Structure 1
Amino acid sequence: MEPNSLTHLLASSHTRPCRVVQWATGTIGTRSLRAVIEHPGLDLAGVYVHSADKKGRDAGELCGLTATGVRATDSIDEILSLGADCVLYMPLVSDIGEVCTLLAAGLNVVTTGGGFHHPASMDPVDCARVETACWSGGTSLHSTGSSPGFITEAVPLLLASIQRRLDGIMIDEYADLSQRDSPELLFDIMGFGRAPGDIDEYRLEHARTSFGPSLRLVADALSLPLDSVEVSGELATVREDVPIAAGVLSAGTVGAQRTTVFGMRHGEPLLSFRATWYCSTDLVPSWNVRATGWHIALDGDAPLDIDLRFPVPLEHMREISPSYTANRAVNVLPFVCSAAPGIRTTLELPQIISNLG
Structure 2
Amino acid sequence: MERTTLPSGNISDIDSDGRRTYRVVQWATGNIGTRALRAVIDHPALTLAGLYVHSDTKSGRDAGELCGRDPVGVKATRDIDEIVDLGADCVLYMSLRFDVDDVCRILASGTNIVTTRGEFHHPAGMDPAVRDAVETACAIGGTSVHSTGSSPGFITEAFPLTLASIQRRLDHLAIDEYADLSQRDSPGILFEIMGFGTTPVDFDENRISHVQANFGPSLRHLADSLGLPLDSVEATGELATARNTVEIAAGTIGAGTVAAQRITVSGIRNGRELMRFRPTWYCTTDLDADWDLHRTGWHVYIDGDAPLDIEMRFPFPMEQMSEMSPNYTANRAVNAVPAVIASAPGIRTTFDLPQIIPSLG
TM-score range for the pair, normalised by the shorter chain length: over 0.9
Count of aligned residue pairs for this structure pair: 346
Which stretches of structure 1, 4 residues or more, deviate above 6 A after TM superposition?
none
- Given candidates 148, 161, 169, the residue that maps to 1:165 is 169
| CA–CA separation in structure 2 for the residues paired with 1:77 and 1:97 | 13
Task: Please state how far the C-alpha of 1:283 moved relative to its aligned partner.
Answer: 2.6
Letter paired with 2:217: P
- Given candidates 44, 48, 58, the residue that maps to 1:54 is 58
Q: Secondary structure at the match of 1:273?
A: strand
For the pair 1:130 / 2:134, whether they are aligned, the reply is yes
What runs of 5+ residues in structure 1 fail to find an aligned partner? 5-10
For the pair 1:319 / 2:326, whether they are aligned, the reply is no
Q: Secondary structure at the match of 1:103?
A: helix
Identity over aligned pairs, percent: 66
| CA–CA separation in structure 1 for the residues paired with 2:78 and 2:245 | 47
| CA–CA separation in structure 2 for the residues paired with 1:192 and 1:273 | 21
Name the CA shift for 1:232/1:321 in 2 (closer, same or farther; >3 Å): same
Do 1:116 and 1:343's aligned partners in 2 also have CA atoms closer than 8 Å? yes
- Given candidates 64, 70, 74, the residue that maps to 1:70 is 74
Letter paired with 2:148: T
Taking only aligned residues, the RMSD between alpha carbons, in angstroms, comes to: 1.7
Q: Secondary structure at the match of 1:348?
A: coil
Task: Please state how far the C-alpha of 1:305 moved relative to its aligned partner.
Answer: 0.9
For the pair 1:310 / 2:314, whether they are aligned, the reply is yes
Name the CA shift for 1:77/1:178 in 2 (closer, same or farther; >3 Å): closer
For the pair 1:39 / 2:22, whether they are aligned, the reply is no
Name the CA shift for 1:188/1:45 in 2 (closer, same or farther; >3 Å): same
| CA–CA separation in structure 2 for the residues paired with 1:262 and 1:304 | 19
Task: Please state how far the C-alpha of 1:241 moved relative to its aligned partner.
Answer: 3.7
Task: Please state how far the C-alpha of 1:203 moved relative to its aligned partner.
Answer: 1.4
| CA–CA separation in structure 2 for the residues paired with 1:162 and 1:216 | 20
Letter paired with 1:38: D
What runs of 5+ residues in structure 2 fail to find an aligned partner? 1-6, 8-13
Considering Cα pairs closer than 8 Å and 6+ residues apart, tell me whether 1 or 2 has the greater RCO.
1
Task: Say which is worse superposed, 75-84 or 179-188, in terms of deviation.
Answer: 179-188
Task: Say which is worse superposed, 317-326 or 237-246, in terms of deviation.
Answer: 237-246
| CA–CA separation in structure 2 for the residues paired with 1:216 and 1:332 | 21
Name the CA shift for 1:247/1:158 in 2 (closer, same or farther; >3 Å): same
Do 2:115 and 2:333's aligned partners in 1 also have CA atoms closer than 8 Å? yes
Letter paired with 2:341: C
Task: Say which is worse superposed, 199-208 or 188-197, in terms of deviation.
Answer: 188-197
- Given candidates 31, 36, 50, the residue that maps to 1:27 is 31
Normalising by structure 2, report the TM-score: 0.92
Do 2:194 and 2:207's aligned partners in 1 also have CA atoms closer than 8 Å? no
Task: Please state how far the C-alpha of 1:315 moved relative to its aligned partner.
Answer: 1.8
- Given candidates 203, 211, 229, the residue that maps to 1:207 is 211
Task: Please state how far the C-alpha of 1:245 moved relative to its aligned partner.
Answer: 4.3
| Cα-to-partner distance string for 1:179-227 (whole Å, 9 max, x where unaligned) | 3344444334322222210211221111111111111111111111100
Task: Say which is worse superposed, 311-320 or 345-354, in terms of deviation.
Answer: 311-320
For the pair 1:174 / 2:143, whether they are aligned, the reply is no
| Cα-to-partner distance string for 1:296-330 (whole Å, 9 max, x where unaligned) | 11111111111111112112211111100000000
| CA–CA separation in structure 1 for the residues paired with 2:38 and 2:116 | 16
Name the CA shift for 1:265/1:126 in 2 (closer, same or farther; >3 Å): same
| CA–CA separation in structure 2 for the residues paired with 1:176 and 1:94 | 27
| CA–CA separation in structure 1 for the residues paired with 2:238 and 2:272 | 20
Normalising by structure 1, report the TM-score: 0.93
Letter paired with 1:323: N
Name 1:226's counterpart in structure 2: 230
Do 1:180 and 1:315's aligned partners in 2 also have CA atoms closer than 8 Å? no
Name the CA shift for 1:188/1:76 in 2 (closer, same or farther; >3 Å): closer
| CA–CA separation in structure 1 for the residues paired with 2:243 and 2:70 | 49
Q: What does residue range 1-357 of structure 1 map to in structure 2 within 5 Å?
A: 16-357=20-361
Name 1:8's counterpart in structure 2: none
| CA–CA separation in structure 2 for the residues paired with 1:188 and 1:127 | 31
Task: Please state how far the C-alpha of 1:258 moved relative to its aligned partner.
Answer: 0.6
Name 1:7's counterpart in structure 2: none
| Cα-to-partner distance string for 1:250-305 (whole Å, 9 max, x where unaligned) | 33222210111101111111111001011232333312224111111111111111
| CA–CA separation in structure 1 for the residues paired with 2:250 and 2:358 | 37
Do 1:148 and 1:211's aligned partners in 2 also have CA atoms closer than 8 Å? yes
| CA–CA separation in structure 1 for the residues paired with 2:109 and 2:94 | 18
Letter paired with 1:148: P
Task: Say which is worse superposed, 199-208 or 187-196, in terms of deviation.
Answer: 187-196
